[in-house]
Amino acid sequence: MSKIMKIFFSPSQTTKQVVEQVASNFKKESETYDLLNFNSKKEFSKEDIAIVGMPIFAGRLPKSGRDRLAKFKGNDTKAIAIANYGNAQVKDALLELVELLKENGFDVIAAATTVSHHSIFDGVAVGRPDSEDIKKINEFAEKCIEKIESGESLTSEIPGNSQYIPYKQLPFIISCDDAICSFCYDCVSICPEQAIPDDDPVNTDLDLCSRCTACINICPEDARKFSGEAFETKKPAFEQANSERREPEFYL
């Protein structure tokens, strides 16, 4: 009997939300692999169905998420590839995800780019995915189910360039207000880059930090945030440039 494998790298939890929405349409037993916490090899069977969601960081898959996903191997395992982004740019990320899954033995039957509230610039795509997004995601999931039942694979061309754009390190500072930090160390345990010292959660090694926002999202005191001149200068311009609504795209 087939199982749904929910696989995602979701520092701000929005990619997880999209994967779970797709999975809810299958009405099957499921397993969850959260790549923020799971960093081991895993092999899947031909009977499994993998729903794989990754966020887009400046037109690429996040390096840590990609490295962890690369440890997952399929055996002609059906897969649905989802690249989730904050209404800004897709560039090569979806193609990168589809190609990685195919290289690792997955039979990609469908792919999508979906839109969620931007994880860094909070004035972009507020409230997304909204009810209209959810409706489209559910319709996509139903088409995926039909494709799996028919045995068909992905036929649509995925946009992007296989010579992926280089990774880019954002110059933004992540600061922590030590006056309200409760020293719970949740940020230390969640950080995929090990950029927050075990003995000093107030500090962040910005050379290691990927600005993924996991530490900001998990902080129970809202003590962590983006700050500094580069961030404050970029924020209004970025939010203005990406204010026009973009829609999810689906490939079957």
Tell me the pLDDT tens digit for each residue of 186-202.
999 999 999 999 999 99
Does this chain's domain 4-163+247-251 share its CATH topology with 173-227? no
Q: What is the CATH number of domain 4-163+247-251?
A: 3.40.50.360
- Please give the CATH number for the structural domain made up of 173-227: 3.30.70.20
Whether 76 and 46 have beta carbons less than 8 Å apart is answered as yes
Which residues in 168-219 belong to E strands, given as ranges?
173-176
Residue 1: band (very low, low, confident or very high) from pLDDT cuts 50, 70, 90: low
Give CA–CA dist 96/77, Å, rounded: 18
Mean pLDDT of the 2-10 span: 96
Q: How far apart are CA 26 and CA 20, in angstroms?
A: 10
pLDDT tens profile 77-129: 999 999 999 999 999 999 999 999 999 999 999 999 999 999 999 999 999 99
Domain ranges of the chain: 4-163+247-251, 173-227
Q: In the structure, what pLDDT confidence band is assigned to residue 2 with cuts at 50, 70 and 90?
A: confident
pTM value is 0.95
What's the CA gap between 60 and 63, in Å, rounded? 8
Q: Do 209 and 171 contact (CB within 8 A), yes or no?
A: no
